[in-house]
Amino acid sequence: MATLYTQQQSNIWKTWSLMAGFFVLVILFGWVFSYVYNDSAILYIAVIISILSSVGSYWFSDKLVLSMSNAQEISAKDNPELYRVVENLCITVGLPVPKIYIIDEEQPNAFATGRDEKHAVVAVTRGLLQRLQRSELEGVLAHELSHIRNKDMLLQTVVVVMAGLISIASDFMLRSMFWGGNSDNKDRNPLMLILGIAAIILAPIAATIIQLSISRKREFLADASGALITRYPEGLASALQKIAVDPHEMQDVSTATAHLYIESPLRGDRAANWFSKLFMTHPPVEERIAALKNMNVEQVEKELYGK
């Protein structure tokens, strides 16, 4: 039976596999264009970029995400109640207290990031603090702490850097092929030129696949293990309902960071049919709420921990 601990090890393995796959993808991208432009330097540059971005995504991706979100760190004196809730939950779950950030957005939402338990961050929007009751806030924070304990957050955060870099590289190559680059077009191998164009078209799709490789089941797992922390699944269910129906648009968010949040901050990201559901970053909120309302805490605890 799969337990919480095997899930943690699986997420660690997925992280390194994802980074290795990205490394290979960037090198392959560079190899194709080194032939298209008949310049081996492009391949060497791709290798260097791949190494630097992989290392950088491990150490600095959390800082990039916080910067992209315009999140501001707070201390205990800035918001004593929020700090007290986080501290109490951390004591319950046996985690170090993470750094706490607030995002100045009306939309209620939250995410966790960082490379490990000792370098974790929990960020919440101003709208979340204003609209949720204490039990609902505890449910959301317990969900985010579960991502930390389940070792989901590194896997989530690394995706931001990887997907972004691939998309930028694709856009750069597209512009250079049509507006500049090697003027010796007649010397280009037609087959490699076709491969180059195909790579440009497929690169954004590959970036999306990388994001979607983060299984939506991690949200169900975080919902379940978060409910175990509070022993009150209804609190998180009520919070998800309020977050889902809130009409406010989030200003500082993109498709590269949307998957980090407890619920998609992109208000158009709703599944209309089974096909569109395949491309969602989160499970449908209705399914999550139903799972929480039907949740048997003792049974889930047995399934997660093998007790």
Catalytic residue among 105, 136, 138, 144: 144
203, 29 Cβ separation under 8 angstroms: yes
Q: What SS3 state is found at 293? A: helix
Phi, psi of 180 (to 5 degrees): -170, -140
* Phi, psi (degrees; rounded to nearest 5) at 40: -65, -20
Q: Which two tokens stand for residue 122?
A: 């929990």
Q: Which of 183, 162, 187 is nearest to 29 (CA)?
A: 162
Backbone angles phi, psi at 209, to 5 degrees: -60, -40
Report which secondary-structure segment, H or E, holds 114. Answer: strand 110-114
Residue pointed to by tokens 């993808």: 25
Sheet order of strands, 71-74 included: 71-74, 99-103, 120-125, 110-114
Nearest Cα neighbor of 226 from 156, 287, 284, 304 is: 304
Tell me whether residue 263 is one of the annotated catalytic residues.
no
Residues involved in catalysis: 144
